[in-house]
Structure 1
């Protein structure tokens, strides 16, 4: 296809509009948190894909506006990745550090934006001849299917669903039905219906101009009644789930203490940081024991040692002395120079009761993808020791208080990790993280993801982070307490063990499968109809 066929005066304008509407979607999450924008920020892209100008119905044009929207959304929402700069504390030069941070931002932005390419082209190619409702159904199914595929990959964070967390807890409750894609489906469908309503309204514009102003308003409103109805309906369903009583009992109570060590990564692995970790977590543990906690949770890598040294630490000595269980973040040797990022349950006898190894590792930061092929080249880009190994997908985390659902840092983005553990008996959520190397926007988004996981699985959640935001969250997503950022804090709170199973926990993401089947059926019916007419 020749670029000369692209209408040069219009194309840059459309690409800019698509990019800006993507930026609006990116502003739904921290640090802005304008969640309401998500319900119409996709409309401009939808309209551009189905623009009526024949010359502009080009796959090249659709690709450009789709990618531009994706860059705007993911580039804005994930801009916190640039705060890994400077990495001079890792003996990386200032200029190289800048290059690495920009590379990471560009890479993860385009990784997310690429999802829009098959969606935009697929939406146009598959639904151009369908009616509005069928088009919205197929477009929604296609988006949810692509998000489901992306969520099984190594890089995943910014689903459309998390645009509603933590500020719209009502709609997040429909995640109990079929997981985060339930929220995503609602957002895409409302956007699609608004776009289709706008198109239908414009199609009758010549007739409407001949009517009285009052009648014109009524006719215009009827087109937008359907997206408004869907928006209200999903919120009403969410409200009904939000109002379900938690039915807390003394028998299920568990008083948990958390320690936010506030140890910057710049000193974490040096003598100053190691001393601060040992003293800070030990004293924090002792003070929490005085508050009558049953167990203490520490952040990811709280004691950045291997298991043998952790068990010989003053913190474990305090556990043996005080007789209160602790969940301690650290590392376990695997083989050769490889190791796992782990959380240990240390009993009052000073023994390891159980261990969980992180399953979802950060590419380049914690491991080298395709190491055999790309290891040498990628190691030049990443200054980190990328030799961690993945834990088993089927792990469970049993504790003296019952089975827990646990996630270490990055795993909070992967809802299936939580759903699986809830389905096999997990009674409460533990999130152990270290977001010290990022700006405040990242831990705020991380907290928002854990809120979603608490709601979807109907579980209490405890978040212990290194520098913030540590928190206690109830099954309705309400944050009972949240720490400051870059502060040392300890906090004790009572949570409650639960054994309920939401539809999502039982059946997984069944809605996406249903949408894909219905959408596929619509397309088959249309093909058969065309064949019959011929």
Structure 2
């Protein structure tokens, strides 16, 4: 099919529907959190892809949806600018911020383009297999989200549209992780779209004037060919060419969508109500410090002094409130760890005198590394001055903490890192064992990666700690980040304490209820009591078993129908 024909099939009203779908799903995310919209927001995308006759065109519509959805939800990345305080010229600073935003948006959009093209191909190849098509579309979307979650750049999965507000649906993540929520959203929207397509098809079919009687178009007689008749070609409606021909009338599809949504909420409510209580006495009291020292300031000598004073004062104030340990954000002390440096020696002396452990965010050297290698770490400092528990960040931030394709881009981008040393990722499976028990830890945007939290919890993590900087990003990014932490708490049946530099710090229980949320851009301390839990949800035990099950069911049912 030529480019001209493809261009002629492009319809702006269909593109408008796809863009509207992207907007609807984006406003279902925090901070707007219009989560009910997500249960119908994908219908326009599903419908346009189903009725689009061209696979490349359907992929283009999928790409457009991704550009709108990810473009809106990830626009906070542009707040990386300005970088002039690091010596980067203004023009380069703008280019870096826009390039980072465009790249991650394109990565997510390409995945949706693959989904759109695949669904259009399946709809043309096997028309009339409505329920199987919904199954295939759900399986493929879940698989693509799982793929993105194993890449360095992932944010804004569909499950985030339900967090932190729709707590019943969030409990479905205990079964097979956040992909369970994605699956029910995609399937419900797919059934609604097929019901719409089926209803539209019925309205386009000819209606007999007499019950049981149908009308055919009359044969056309051409005088130039005596005795020969020609039947007129059937009318083809360009908006639905080729037709989907749903094998089921619209009402059963509509009722199936409603039943699926209701059943999902009911199952989530049952999981919420059946959660086992924690044993008596399994609690710990933690204090958190939100330092509120902007990155552009805390890397200066004055900023280092400000951070040291703020965290020391906050630590002593929380010790006086009777906490069991004090937690600081990611990179709270912006120095390479050296117990002999004056600032770190002062912290060690303070902890020794107070007698309460400090869980400090810092840059720790890699043991036994021949090169000057450091990790972004959370360290437990005990009163004897030694570090015991340690978690090293696994998912490093591209450009900020490591340089992709360093041999090519190293000279150009090395100035973006405030450290002169080489940051390396931590091991995939770690155990943060402290004097108060074992914790599950996430640093910075690791909150978006459930696959990093699950093994820690399965190995004995009894509570969750997330330590983040979040500067220089805006409030609505902080709300999205908080939504991820709510998801992590619910899927693992663990209480979570969230400690940030500029906000939002908070406390979340194992049901996803936010018990306390601090003000952003403010220095503050808070004392919180958390339950220590040892339960293992199905997701923690077996991981994401639903996605391979959906993919397997799609292949098996597809092959069976082909053999008939």
TM-score, normalization by structure 1 = 0.92
Q: Distance in 2 between matches of 1:30 and 1:209?
A: 47
Structure 1 residues 145 and 223: alpha-carbon distance in aligned structure 2, compared to 1, 3 A threshold: closer
Matched, 1:112 2:124: no
Give the superposed CA RMSD: 2.1
8 Å CA contact 2:429, 2:452 repeated in 1: no
Match of 1:258 among 284, 288, 306: 288
C-alpha deviation, 1:401, in angstroms: 1.4
CA distance in 2, matches of 1:377, 1:525: 55
| Counterpart among 118, 137, 143 of residue 139 in structure 1 | 137
For the residues of structure 2 that align with 1:377 and 1:279, how far apart are their CA atoms?
Answer: 35
Deviation at 1:171, TM superposition (A): 0.3
Quote the offset at 1:25 in angstroms: 1.0
Q: Which residue of 2 aligns with 1:215?
A: none
**Would you say the 8 A contact 2:56–2:117 is kept in 1?**
no
Per-residue deviation, 1:208: 11
Mapped pair 1:353 → 2:353: no
Q: Is the contact made by 1:92 and 1:383 (CA closer than 8 Å) also made in structure 2? A: no
| 3-state SS of 1:369 partner | coil
Residues 327-347 of structure 1, C-alpha deviations (whole Å, 9 max, x = no match): 000001345343210110111
Aligned position for 1:513? 548
Q: 1:272 aligns with which of 292, 302, 305?
A: 302
- Alignment partner, residue 375 of structure 1: 410
**Structure number with bigger Rg:** 2
**Residue 328 (structure 1) aligned to one of 350, 356, 360:** 360
Q: Hey, what's the Cα distance between the residues in 2 that align with 1:139 and 1:10? A: 22
Return the alpha-carbon distance in structure 1 between the equivalents of residues 517 and 418 of structure 2.
30
Question: Residue 30 of structure 1: SS of its match in structure 2?
Answer: coil
> How far 1:524 sits from its partner (Å)?
1.3
Q: CA deviation at 1:245?
A: 4.9
TM-score (norm 2): 0.88
Could you tell me which residue of structure 2 aligns to residue 398 of structure 1? 433
Q: For 2:72, which of 72, 76, 96 is the aligned residue?
A: 76
Q: Greater shift after overlay, 23-32 or 277-286?
A: 23-32
1:150 maps onto 2:148 in alignment: yes
- Answer with 132-141 or 86-95: which moved more: 86-95
2:493 aligns with 458
1:89 paired residue among 85, 89, 111: 85
Post-superposition Cα deviations, 1:277-299, rounded to whole Å, max 9, x if no partner, equal 10100010100011110011100
SS at match of 1:135: helix
Q: Distance in 1 between the 2:525 and 2:151 partners?
A: 35
Which 10-residue stretch deviates more, 440-449 or 126-135?
126-135
SS in 1 for 2:105: helix
**Per-residue deviation, 1:375:** 3.4
Pairs aligned (count): 517
SS in 2 for 1:50: helix
Residue 359 (structure 1) shift: 0.4
**Which shifted more, 145-154 or 306-315?**
306-315
Please name the residue that 2:200 is paired with: 202
Asked whether the 8 Å contact 1:201–1:223 carries over to 2, the reply is no
For structure 2, the 5+ residue unaligned runs are 210-248
SS, match of residue 395 in structure 2 = coil
1:425 alignment partner, SS class: coil
- Which residue of structure 1 aligns with residue 455 of structure 2? 420
Kept in 2: contact 1:179–1:415 (CA 8 A): yes
Q: Which moved more, 1:384-393 or 1:61-70?
A: 384-393
Instruction: Identify the residue that residue 214 of structure 1 maps to in structure 2.
Output: none
Residues 1:316 and 2:384 aligned together: no
The answer to whether residue 314 in structure 2 is matched with residue 284 in structure 1 is yes
Match of 2:61 among 59, 65, 71: 65
* Partner Cα distance (2:414, 2:296) in 1: 21
CA offsets, 1:31-65, max 9 Å, x none?
322112211111111111121xxxx5112211210
How far does residue 326 in structure 1 lie from its aligned partner after superposition? Answer: 1.1
Say whether the 8 Å CA contact 2:57–2:117 is kept in structure 1. no
Which secondary structure state, in structure 2, belongs to the residue aligned with residue 44 of structure 1?
Answer: helix
Q: Distance in 1 between matches of 2:123 and 2:100?
A: 35
1:440 aligns with 2:475: yes
Structure 1, gaps ≥5 residues long: 212-218, 530-534
1:121 corresponds in structure 2 to: 117
- Tell me which of 269, 280, 285 is aligned to 1:239: 269
Contact 2:493–2:511 (Cα < 8 Å) also in 1? yes
CA distance in 1, matches of 2:157, 2:489: 17
Asked whether the 8 Å contact 1:281–1:315 carries over to 2, the reply is: no
Tell me, yes or no, if the aligned pair for 1:278 and 1:313 is still in contact at 8 Å. no
Higher helix proportion, which one? Answer: 1
Determine the C-alpha separation between the residues in 1 that align with 2:306 and 2:412: 36
C-alpha displacement at 1:104, in angstroms?
Answer: 1.1
Note if contact 1:254-1:494 (Cα within 8 Å) is conserved in structure 2.
Answer: yes
| More off after superposition, 22-31 vs 358-367 | 22-31
Relative to structure 1, the CA distance from residue 414 to residue 230 in structure 2 (aligned partners, 3 Å threshold; closer, same or farther) is: same
Conservation of the 8 A alpha-carbon contact between 2:30 and 2:163? no
